[in-house]
Amino acid sequence: MAAVFALLFLMSLLAYPQVQASFVKDAQVAAKSTLRLVSGAVDQAIGKYQPIPGLIADDPIFRDLLHQTGNNGIVPFVNEKLRHIAGSVGASDIYIMDPSGTTVAASNYRDERSFMGNNFAYRPYFYKALAGEATQFHALGTTSGERGFFFSVPILDGISVIGVLALKVTVELFEGAWSGSPLEIIVADPNGVAFLASHDDYRLRSLAPLSDGVRARIAETRQFPLNAVTPIPFSANVIAPSAVEVTLGEVGSEIHYLAESEPLSLSGWHAIVLTPLGPITSQAIYALIVWNLATGAIALAALALIQRRARIFERIRVEQTQRDLLEKMVRERTADLDTANISLRSEVNERKIAEERLRKTQKDLVQAGKLAALGQMSAALSHEINQPLAAVKSYADNAALYIERNRTAEAKANIARISEMTDRMAKISRHLRNFARRPGDKLNAIPVCEVIREAVALMDPQVRKSGSRISFASGQTEHWVLGGRLRLQQVLVNIMTNAIDAMEGQSQKLMDISIDCADETVAIHVRDHGPGLKQDALNQAFEAFFTTKDAGAGMGLGLSISYNIIEDFGGKLTASNHPDGGGIFTVELRRAPAEDLPLIQVAAQ
């Protein structure tokens, strides 16, 4: 009996390498499947974001920003536009730098760690783009402290590079999907630095000691903090054909892994999946124990009861069948994962095509909106200024005749009328100049009625041209609210412009402006006598690029920008329908603190 058990033990020792190799092979198959998913996800994400900066940088407003460095009025608009774009494409940050590397506009302008005013001339993505090369870079953000991929393109004016647009994507999107996995996943850059990792201990550490030249480049570009880029302690050993064992950690606390790696489409990058060898070894030992027990049972049964031999062989056959079934299930599952991966890539490609079409459509709408706005403004200015100019010429000619005939009184009267016409043209110019001036970002106490009267005066040419009327009791008691004077004018002009458009074709073109006051708030109601708002327009009135106008009549950005301005004031902008017909837009603002009112009244006097 002892000889039988000794023989079984010897056979176990001889069979262990083959059994372990079988389990290692199964683990390699699973690890390679995970590798394909990891590398595919990273490659697809990089491919998705790579063309976006080039599409964004074509907007003429960015060239205007970089040319008009002294015109601060354009900065808030560009900042808000970048914030909307970053949210729609899923980017962490989008920002614009001038030729010196200083950030002049950024989507994160509201954040405490905003890029505004920061200089990134030391980053390769800046100076390569400034040289005319669209490029990408990966680093730990010196301002945000977040790891991310940076994509940059030059902003061109003709063939001249006048600035750089950069887009940043953080890496939490990738690592979040790896949490909870028993495998260790590492994505290393061309220098061997673990830029992505499922475990905190391996992030920004190197797979091997870095050369002095590499460390110098990292320090020069501030890519990573050099004190963090320390080598990961590990050793490698080939344990089977095409199987490598990696040992991580210090002596006494080391962990053994089965390593699999695969290059990414990014030049020099590769992904590594580490499968713990402990469970694999345990499975191999457990399988040998099971085999030894089964063989021992067979031997004992053969010695004790020959008649039970058939039952023992049946047990062995069932175990073998179960093992084959398990291997078959693993192969089928691997095939399912491959099929799902192919389907996912196809869906991603279809989505890219749809996004390209959407971007082209939006670009066409923006261009059409600009042309329409330019034509509308030109017509209004021409009508308002040509009429006084014609009167001035007529009065001047008559005054010259009166002087020749020594009719001094009539000549003086004509000259006085010329002065009045000049004042009228100056008033039009002053309103337009004030409206185009850069608004202050700081919230101040502002007079509601006075701002409404200024907005009504600014809209007067367009109101008279459309045949509309505005009803507003200008003699109301003044109310003071928190906000920005010029930005509130912009909101009211946007709302009144939409009201005039809504009443086109109506017999009664009347716009009512009223004010409601509460203890803490002041509400401005602007009602048109048009057909009212449909349900879909009520639901989407403040979404960017939503418009009910014909193509070329509007970009669908006015109400979206107005909504964000009022939200910045701490107020609310809402839309509804009046019971008697027509749409109502309500601007609700916070009252100015009572202790500020004496200072406000003195300033007004």
pLDDT tens digits for 313-333?
889 988 898 888 888 888 888
Is-contact 169 154, C-beta < 8 A? Answer: no
pLDDT in the model for residue 602: 42
pLDDT in the model for residue 85: 95
* Model confidence at 358: pLDDT above 70: no
pLDDT tens digits for 56-80?
999 999 999 998 876 778 999 999 9
Instruction: Report the C-alpha gap between 188 and 56 in whole angstroms.
Output: 30
Distances in Å between the Cα of 228 and the Cα atoms of 193, 200, 217, 224, 472 are 11, 12, 15, 8, 66
Instruction: Write the DSSP string, 433-449.
Output: HHHHSPPPSS-EEEEHH
Higher pLDDT, 558 or 116: 116
Strands 184-188 and 160-170: unpaired
pLDDT in the model for residue 372: 45
pLDDT in the model for residue 284: 67
Q: Report the percent of the chain where pLDDT is more than 70.
A: 82
Distances in Å between the Cα of 278 and the Cα atoms of 282, 422, 588 are 6, 92, 65
Instruction: Report the C-alpha gap between 513 and 526 in whole angstroms.
Output: 5
Average the pLDDT over each of 17-26, 85-94, 338-347, 562-571 and give the range with the smallest value: 17-26
When computed from its CA atoms, the radius of gyration of the chain, rounded to whole angstroms, is 37
pLDDT tens digits for 399-418?
888 899 999 888 888 888 78
Instruction: Report the C-alpha gap between 260 and 29 in whole angstroms.
Output: 10
Crossing angle between the packed helical segments 408-436 and 485-502, to the nearest 10 degrees: 100
Q: Report the percent of the chain where pLDDT is more than 90.
A: 30
pLDDT in the model for residue 42: 87
Residue tagged 């083959």 (tokens): 18
Instruction: Report the C-alpha gap between 380 and 116 in whole angstroms.
Output: 37
Average the pLDDT over each of 311-325, 438-452, 476-490 and give the range with the smallest value: 438-452
Higher pLDDT, 190 or 249: 190
Long-range contacts of 275-279, Cβ-Cβ distance < 8 Å, separation of 24 or more: 275/27, 275/30, 275/31, 275/183, 276/182, 276/183, 276/184, 277/245
Cα angle 24-189-36, degrees, rounded to a multiple of 5: 40
pLDDT tens digits for 201-245?
888 888 889 999 999 999 999 999 988 888 888 777 776 666 778
Residue tagged 């344990």 (tokens): 239
> Residue 551 carries which DSSP code?
T
Over range 424-447, report the average pLDDT: 63
Confidence band (pLDDT; 50, 70, 90) for 550?
low
Strands 510-517 and 469-471: parallel
Average the pLDDT over each of 328-342, 367-381, 481-495, 567-581 and give the range with the smallest value: 367-381
pTM score over 0.85: no
> What does the chain come to in residues?
605
Q: Average pLDDT over the chain, rounded to whole? A: 82
Beta strands in 251-340 (DSSP E): 255-263, 270-276
Higher pLDDT, 158 or 440: 158
Instruction: Report the C-alpha gap between 350 and 346 in whole angstroms.
Output: 6
Instruction: Write the DSSP string, 201-231.
Output: GGTT-BSSPPPHHHHHHHHHHT-S-TTT--B
pLDDT in the model for residue 428: 57
pLDDT in the model for residue 391: 65
Instruction: Report the C-alpha gap between 132 and 153 in whole angstroms.
Output: 7
Beta strands in 277-402 (DSSP E): none
Distances in Å between the Cα of 571 and the Cα atoms of 76, 445, 472, 587, 588 are 19, 14, 22, 7, 5
Q: By C-alpha distance, which of 158, 86, 161 is closest to 128? A: 161
* Model confidence at 186: pLDDT above 80: yes
Is-contact 285 294, C-beta < 8 A? Answer: no
* Model confidence at 373: pLDDT above 50: no
Higher pLDDT, 119 or 393: 119
Over range 126-147, report the average pLDDT: 92
Cα angle 213-215-218, degrees, rounded to a multiple of 5: 110
In a 13 Å sphere around the CA of 276, the CA atoms on its Cβ side amount to: 9
3-state helix, strand, coil in the chain (%, to 5): 55, 20, 25
